[in-house]
């Protein structure tokens, strides 16, 4: 069994309010959940910063402090150059893709977490390009055929019932669908962007959407306001068991 914690849409913006919500989630993971003793990986699925500013990424690094192996990807509010300058000193503008390998558990498989960049500079919708998916193919090939694969990106690949978000998801996910179909080791896809805990399916596999840390978006029948400020910051726990099955639990975190 492997456990991947996912946090998404932190929108660091220099305000105490957003920072406190992110701190509450990290306190929960590092404290009550036992940190790296019980959680194999922490996945941060984009909209780390609110305006893609270097100061916001520095605030994120100061807050997302944990011994849990962590992998981050970018969303539409992020900026590749600012993120990579602050985190790695590179200032790159090409897609920021990364991978995290978790060793095999007792009787199970190893796990590969692919963190793919679905952002399009200057746009709110998203796309996974052919080069990004080819890079992901090479990572799966390197990991070997007995490895479970969790594929992560910011923009959902399908409609989830919030029109505002459905209009700026991955608008053409055919390449992603082909990629998923090629790889039976993919246990599921996970995204952020929608600021709502949701589970659906895509290309015949589970597709989970993480709750927002900074805020929650209303469903159409929950009210006319876009944001529902009454909800707690959220975290998703993805359990990948020895039968190669993905089970996702959601938690609202006090704070
Ligand atoms: Fe967001
Ligand atoms: Fe987003």
**In this predicted model, what pLDDT tens digit does every residue of 39-54 receive, in sequence order?**
999 999 999 999 999 9
Which architecture, in CATH terms, is 2-252?
Answer: 4-Layer Sandwich (3.60)
What are the phi and psi torsion angles at 59 (to 5°)?
-65, -40
| Tokens describing residue 224 | 């006319």
Q: What pLDDT is attached to residue 153?
A: 98
Q: What pLDDT is attached to residue 224?
A: 86
Nearest to 45 by CA among 80, 83, 77, 72: 72
pLDDT value at 199 more than 80: yes
Tens-digit pLDDT profile for residues 177-192? 999 999 999 999 999 9
Cα of 9 vs centre of ligand 1, distance in Å, is: 4
Nearest to 175 by CA among 214, 114, 227, 134: 134
Q: Which ligand has its closest atom nearest to the C-alpha of 9?
A: 1
State the pTM of this model. Answer: 0.97
Cα of 212 vs centre of ligand 1, distance in Å, is: 7
Tens-digit pLDDT profile for residues 82-94? 999 999 999 999 9
| Tokens describing residue 221 | 């029948």
Q: What are the boundaries of each domain within the chain? A: 2-252
Share of the chain above pLDDT 90, in %: 92
Cα of 210 vs centre of ligand 2, distance in Å, is: 11
Q: Which residues, 6 or more positions from 89, have their beta carbon under 8 angstroms from its beta carbon?
A: none
Handedness of CA 29, 238, 119, 212 (dihedral sign): negative
Cα of 243 vs centre of ligand 1, distance in Å, is: 33
Band of the pLDDT at 61, cuts 50, 70, 90? very high
């Amino acid at each position: 069994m492997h456990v991947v914690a996912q946090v998404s849409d932190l929108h660091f913006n220099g305000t105490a309010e957003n920072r406190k919500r992110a701190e509450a989630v990290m306190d929960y993971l590092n404290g009550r959940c036992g940190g790296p003793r019980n959680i194999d990986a922490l996945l941060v699925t984009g909209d780390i910063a609110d305006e893609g500013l270097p100061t916001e990424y520095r605030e994120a690094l100061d807050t997302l402090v944990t011994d849990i192996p962590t992998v981050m990807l970018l969303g539409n509010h992020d900026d590749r150059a600012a993120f990579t300058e602050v985190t790695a000193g590179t200032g790159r503008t090409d897609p920021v893709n990364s991978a995290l390998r978790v060793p095999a558990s007792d009787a199970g498989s190893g796990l590969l977490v692919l963190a793919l960049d679905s952002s399009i500079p200057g746009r709110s919708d998203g796309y996974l390009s052919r080069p990004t998916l080819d890079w992901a193919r090479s990572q799966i090939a390197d990991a070997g055929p007995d490895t479970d694969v969790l594929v992560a990106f910011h923009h959902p690949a399908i409609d989830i019932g919030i029109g505002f978000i459905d209009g700026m998801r991955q608008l053409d996910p055919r390449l992603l669908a082909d990629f998923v179909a090629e790889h039976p080791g993919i246990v599921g896809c996970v995204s952020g962007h929608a600021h709502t805990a949701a589970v659906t399916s895509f290309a015949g596999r589970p597709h989970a959407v993480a709750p927002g840390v900074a805020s929650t978006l209303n469903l159409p029948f929950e009210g006319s306001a876009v944001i529902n400020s009454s909800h707690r910051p959220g975290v998703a726990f993805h359990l990948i068991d020895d039968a190669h099955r993905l089970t996702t639990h959601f938690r609202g975190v006090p704070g």
